[in-house]
A and B are shown apart, each in its own frame.
Chain A
């Protein structure tokens, strides 16, 4: 199978850009419906089911509504930045989808087409860079609105996103160590070769990535910048109509990207589990499916049905994470602001640093002992399982976060506090606490 000619590459890339952009925006639109339906189900309601069959036309109705609504512009707003902010927000979220490989290469009469818009060598670094830029959309929106709530939301989001950016980046370093590359296609290939999804050999990295992914996308329990109950939806308070809608699309596109990344980095991307027929990778200008024992590359056999099957696998994995995002949002309450900072700097950062060292040391030792293949993955899985166990144990012992109101035995434990002992008599100025007071005797 040959590579594409420059002309064919140009044409196929244009088609891919168009398709991926429109499909991902369509998915984003339907994620809003999914969110509303699932939140309805969780609250024993049905959710929107009136517009079209099962409410399937609801996103279209919402889109029309958003276009037709009045566009407001606060008199004191900083006009250029106020308009720029939603554009940044949506652009920086949508552009990330371009580097995520979503299916096995597709054979065409003109050559084999990679099922990724831009298979750039810096891959995940591009994603980290652009998702860091994403905070500009939020901060500019908050600043340009000239509104105290929006400003507070922007402040919160900048500190939160900057904090979790660190943990997010560090949680990916074990992946780089294992894959030896930052290109997403190669990370998928390395997972296929190892025979393990990185979820297992790098379980703690996955856990940290999920937590900081939630913080990065500003979703509950980390939705500090929005916090509708305290900040009247924070940074986009002053936005209406399509500008508001652009923030929403940006937010959901971000969820889509993070879900796709979780699937790609830790769940083997588009590869179908327990099947070697979809192993495909460009190696020195040749699409290979693996190596022989002597180290000779074996040519891969791309097929349209393989592309479709792997696309389905990718959609399934990504969809699962999207569902988890929605599910978590309607379960967990928002953290307090200091808890978010505490978790970010005092828990996530040291844990991810320690884990990077652990993985590096383990890989080094295994390389020195020339351990390869299944055993390599199995040893790393065991080491990571222990690390994850220690992390979860520490979380569970309440060293890290105080939780809900039940003790471990399942009963509410009697706690002797000054308030409980005094029998909760109102503390009036001048009145003595406890015993016979002037009020009761007269």
Chain B
């Protein structure tokens, strides 16, 4: 398709009025001045409503007895495009695999949500949360305990069979 050019026609002399336009403009700005419906969001006082599909700080789901749901299958560090997940898996007496080390560097993470998509036991999630400022870089590496402590809502994944979440 060829690009289209919109021609802005200049009005001929004698067809315009500066005065009327100015007064009209003053009316418009006055209307906006007294309009109580402002666009400003008073952020820290009014919490932001995030979309259910917002991908933010990670959450590790926990069993009822307090163990992480993670089975250390190694899929999330494999799929992670930013290579921000470090996983060292272990095995207990019954042969159940569990993570000995599970760290996510939230600074390197690009919040694509592929770890959540790939997880076979729905253990690791990205969450509806973004307020994770810290004073040092080291604090951005979340270890397993910290991931398990996160109490915000986890992200609702996009369902291809229901693309509009209806």
Contacts and interface: CB of A to CB of B under 8 A. Distances in A.
Interface residues of B, number: 31
Interface in B4-29: 5, 7-22, 25-26, 28-29
Contact of A42 (B12, B17, B18, B33): B33
A403 B18 contact: yes
Interface centre among A396, A403, A414 (most CB of B within 10 A): A403
A328 B17 CA distance: 17
Chain A interface, DSSP helix/strand/loop, else mixed: loop
A369 interface: no
A44 B16 contact: no
Interface stretch (A87-95, A118-126, A223-231, A404-412): A404-412
B17 A398 contact: yes
A404 to B, nearest CB: 4
A44 B38 contact: yes
Interface centre among B13, B18, B30, B39 (most CB of A within 10 A): B18
A404 B13 CA distance: 11
Contacts of A43: 32
A405 B11 contact: yes
Nearest to A333: B25
A45 interface: yes
B18 to A, nearest CB: 3
B11 to A, nearest CB: 5
Interface stretch (A23-31, A150-158, A233-241, A416-424): A416-424
Contacts of A330: 29
A360 interface: no
B26 A331 contact: yes
A53 to B, nearest CB: 14
**Size class of the A contact interface (CB-based, 8 Å):** 35 or more
Contact of A404 (B7, B18, B37, B42): B18
B96 interface: no
A332 B40 contact: no
B20 A403 contact: yes
B136 to A, nearest CB: 27
Contacts of B17: 395-398, 403, 408
A407 B14 CA distance: 9
A41 B33 contact: yes
B51 interface: no
Contact of B15 (A46, A327, A392, A413): A413
Contacts of A420: 7, 9
A396 B7 contact: no
A414 to B, nearest CB: 7
Contacts of A404: 16, 18, 21
A42 B9 CA distance: 29
A343 to B, nearest CB: 10
A146 B10 CA distance: 40
B12 A392 contact: no
Contacts of A332: 22, 25
B9 A417 contact: yes
A401 interface: yes
A406 B40 CA distance: 32
B35 A403 contact: no
Contacts of A327: 26, 29-30, 33
Contacts of A413: 9, 11-12, 15
A38 interface: yes
Contacts of B15: 398, 407-408, 413
A43 B30 CA distance: 10
27 contacts: A40-B40, A42-B29, A42-B33, A43-B32, A44-B37, A45-B38, A45-B40, A327-B30, A327-B33, A328-B26, A331-B22, A331-B25, A331-B26, A332-B22, A397-B14, A402-B13, A402-B16, A403-B16, A405-B10, A405-B11, A407-B16, A413-B11, A413-B12, A413-B15, A415-B11, A417-B10, A424-B5
Interface of B: 5, 7-22, 25-26, 28-30, 32-35, 37-40, 42
Given A44-B35, A45-B40, 14 more contacts: A41-B38, A42-B29, A46-B42, A327-B30, A331-B28, A395-B18, A396-B17, A396-B19, A402-B13, A406-B11, A415-B9, A415-B11, A420-B9, A424-B5
Interface of A: 38, 40-46, 327-328, 330-332, 392, 395-398, 400-408, 412-415, 417, 419-420, 424
